[in-house]
Amino acid sequence: MATKQDTEQLLERQILKPPPLYQVALLNDDYTPMEFVVAIIQEYFNKDRETATQIMLSVHRHGKGVCGVFSKDIASTKVEFVLTHARKAGHPLQCVMEEV
């Protein structure tokens, strides 16, 4: 028969950790127009124009701007959408995901 201590130890082992989160960031380059970056942030990250502009300025000034934090699958999908859109428009914009 299981003791209370055995049951507690079993429950502790069964507690699941939440999945890791990933931040999606845009990287600065010298060719992609600022207005295009703002439009990308608004379209793919659902940010208002003011917030999108602030993120774009972070990209411009600091080399990187975080657009959001998501689960791995969503972050990966957003990176692919942004990169595809940028390439179709002829821009070298880089978008990356990093574990938080």
CA distances from 13 to 1, 8, 18, 84, 97 (A): 19, 9, 14, 42, 30
70 beta partners: 22
Q: Is 20 among the domain residues?
A: no
Q: Smallest Cα–Cα separation from 53: which of 69, 44, 41?
A: 41
Q: Token pair of 70, please?
A: 């998501």
Q: Is 9 among the domain residues?
A: no
Q: Is 76 among the domain residues?
A: yes
pTM for this model (two decimals): 0.84
Rounded to a whole number, what is the distance in angstroms from the first to the last CA of the chain? 43
Alpha helices in 15-71 (DSSP H): 34-45, 49-62
pLDDT of 25 reads: 98
Q: pLDDT of 29-38, one tens digit each? A: 999 999 999 9
Q: What is the CATH number of the domain that holds 82?
A: 3.30.1390.10
Q: Is 1 among the domain residues?
A: no
Q: Is 6 among the domain residues?
A: no
Q: Is 59 among the domain residues?
A: yes
Band the pLDDT of 14: cuts 50, 70, 90. Answer: low
Show the domain range for 90: 31-99
